[in-house]
Amino acid sequence: MSFTLWFTGLPSSGKSTVAKRVENELVQEGIKIHNLDGDDIRGKLHPDLGFTKEERGTNNKRIAFIADLLNRNDVSAIVAAISPFEEYRDYAREMIDNFILVYTECPVEVCKERDPKNLYQKAEEGEIPNFTGVNHPYQEPENPEVHVNTEEQSPEECKEAVLKHMREKGYLEEKRDEHSNMNEKDKKKVRNRLRKLGYLK
């Protein structure tokens, strides 16, 4: 079953970092998947687009179309895009059958500290117009499937939260307990051994 994981959040909130970790895990599990990074798509397919609300909407709609096309051809998709407006995220949700929205929450102050290109500072100095989090709004998702906080959670913890949701919803198989096939006699032997070693009381 193909699906689209759509990561949304402020610039430098950790979207791409978490998305890449999830992608690596899914590849290891044998999932056929393609990463549609928002900046990469914008730069290669439509560099003429600006950053007004309408142009951002156009960008999101095009990404949603590509993700849906991949899904229809049995390839899952990962999208990491700011996608600041609820109406365009809803558009993607309506277009894509198996749509999973992941909100990577992070305070703007922390995003500024992480910003490797100093884009927040440039926006505050008036060099960059329509920059989300400074002079352009970001609407927090009301009902994301997965909500992580990258200030409080490590990238690994965020990744596990995403994978946990996917397993619960049937997109991935549950991890098998390697001891699940042990009979009661074997389990008792292991417990007794652990007691002798002092690990159990």
Residue with tokens 């993607």: 92
Give phi and psi for 105, each to the nearest 5: -75, 140
DSSP code for 60 = H
Catalytic hit among 76, 83, 154, 180: 83
The angle subtended at Cα 37 by Cα 69 and Cα 12, nearest 5°, is 145
Is 83 one of the annotated active-site residues of the chain? yes
DSSP code for 128 = S
The residues, any chain, with a CB within 8 Å of residue 147's CB and separated by 6 or more, are 102, 103, 105, 141
The strand pair at 33-37 and 76-80 is best described as parallel
**Contact yes or no for 41/66 (Cβ under 8 A):** yes
In this structure, the dihedral spanned by the alpha carbons of residues 46, 52, 53 and 58, taken in order and rounded to 10 degrees, is -10
What residue type is assigned to position 170 of the chain? Answer: G
Residues tagged active-site: 83
